[in-house]
Structure 1
């Protein structure tokens, strides 16, 4: 002990300082509060999303009548879908609607958002007017547009009065019925994306636009080279959500045409509805619903994988 420095002896003999566990307790309480707040949402997701998805998968593997006992048939429902001409027609009509509706919706909403710049007088009033169809019941809108499209309706009467042209019966013509539904759907839904794009455009820094103007860029060049890349996250969000909702189109063709004329406007969701509630084939309807689920999941996955090439986050 004589050779050990006094400072080391003092430190060795001194009692250890008590550990502060308050930080760990605070983190534990914070985690408990987080779990508590997330629990209702997680429970709702499980009960109203995950469980129904699992039940639909289970039903798709059975011959499941509306009344009676189900029986296991494996993948027979999916094989029947492959050979069902109505299903193939509904699948093609759905993709046609998506191909027509999504670009039109994005172009119209982005164009209107660009027009509603801060320099436009009463822009808030225009925003409300353009957004109103989005919050109006879609069934009411479909009924109104069905009356507009019919022979002698407002569109036909206006064309005959001002141009002397008799318009076709849009909803009774297989060549026009889907286009008429797309036009009505764009009018119904572009307001939501317009608000998203308008808010994104308002957040573009003026300093970058002024710098581009000093470099000789005109308004068109500034929009394509500066504004569009800066609002690409909002564009990605709007594109993804519009794609998902467009694959689920149902009310417009159901109210306006009932899927006609013939099967020219039958969509996947309407096919699912008919199989489940008209023909009482719940197993076949569940199989078609799972096909739609996989299609939407695949399209969304492609969107997320491809966003790295064109979406620019700050």
Structure 2
């Protein structure tokens, strides 16, 4: 069964990459029209100005301004192709007037980073600033609750424009709470591997890893992450995410589902949603609770 699921995911991603290049080319682009000035943006955000000549097999031929011969660029390296407006100067992100979408509210994905950094605040309890060291690695530090210091780490890379892999971790230090009977602060955290299929227009996210606690001598708790969603308008995304934890030592199952929407404008994004929790050992399932989040990008 596991092999069937993996094969289906691979086939799905290959199918997406084969057909999705058209969605990355703006409808106003006329191939070979030298009266238009085209802007081509690669996956690493390199920007080229010139004329898109044609698409042939797995490559797009692009005549860079000031050169005489077109260059073949693999379609898998294409992020966006549009008509360059020297007055408005709107590349991929600003054409939509919103920042790119890369992470869910609580869960991380392996989607590409669309900014050099961000500040994220959720219900005034989670506040983290993150910076990109390069196109693959992002580090962050902030506060979680009134007593915790949070650090975040995420490394991601793209195999194709619609298949992304990554490793992510969050570590929470509680310096005012000491372990008993041992001395030293309590440290909580998780380490997860991520697989994301699709792009910020539509995506499915899967993750698995462990949650650890240095104050608990028991075995680590397994955490499995799921998310699915997409863009319904130039400014709005809707998505659902869930964390499932399994404690083999006590045979406990916990679910943390949520339904979310986000509104983006320029360098800002607001998150809205409802979430709840389920603990099977107590049959505890409270009514959904609302939350509000905010992100600023630079």
Q: TM-score, with normalisation over the residues of structure 2?
A: 0.22
Structure with the higher fraction of residues in helix conformation: 1
Greater RCO, 1 or 2 (C-alpha within 8 Å, sep 6+): 1
TM-score by length of 1: 0.21
Q: Which has the higher strand share?
A: 2
